[in-house]
A and B are shown apart, each in its own frame.
Chain A
Amino acid sequence: QKEVEQNSGPLSVPEGAIASLNCTYSDRGSQSFFWYRQYSGKSPELIMFIYSNGDKEDGRFTAQLNKASQYVSLLIRDSQPSDSATYLCAVRKAAGNKLTFGGGTRVLVKP
């Protein structure tokens, strides 16, 4: 079992719709959770971070965390073609500062 798992996609979403991305993690001691966006050939760009159970909203993005289910998700509302990218879920464990990344979900927003 991978430490951080994501569906590789591609997730095809019509423009204006909601894109829903999921991520599960195996270590119950994980404390911090991050979503990065990576365009092809570019570096990861931080979108959201969440530490506590529940929802956290920032503009068109909402991160949801459920530690009991070891599950974190990202919702992108009013998806735009510029949202087409790979979205990386990253987890920090209780001990240490390193991030463990999932394989990423590729999102395609079609006009």
Chain B
Amino acid sequence: NAGVMQNPRHLVRRRGQEARLRCSPMKGHSHVYWYRQLPEEGLKFMVYLQKENIIDESGMPKERFSAEFPKEGPSILRIQQVVRGDSAAYFCASSPLGENIQYFGAGTRLSVL
């Protein structure tokens, strides 16, 4: 039973480029969450999605960041025109319908040069 799969594990981008982070939830899980962990800081909620729906995006920066969870395929967190301050670990978590126990993937560590 595979866990939450995230890729890539490490991503290096230059300022101004786009970053795409992918997350496949655990089998049978229909809820996906994205969190960001800045260096030496705690985990901060970004967005909560179900298939084809954004349920809560209260933690998403207003500009450059977007997320989707299409009917087929993984959830994508997209960061346009990256800046050095976007360097962080981005974690995806998933939970099954009717439960709120969230299981985390290994994360994507984004470095912006």
Contacts and interface: CB of A to CB of B under 8 A. Distances in A.
A101 B104 contact: no
User: Main SS of the interface on chain A?
Assistant: strand
A46 B101 contact: yes
Interface string B67-110: 00000000000000000000000010001000011111111000
User: Main SS of the interface on chain B?
Assistant: strand
Interface residues of A, number: 21
Contact of A43 (B41, B44, B48, B107): B107
Given A43-B107, A88-B42, A103-B41, 14 more contacts: A34-B101, A36-B104, A43-B91, A44-B91, A46-B101, A96-B48, A97-B48, A97-B95, A97-B100, A98-B56, A98-B58, A98-B59, A99-B43, A99-B45
Contacts of B33: 97-99
A101 B42 contact: yes
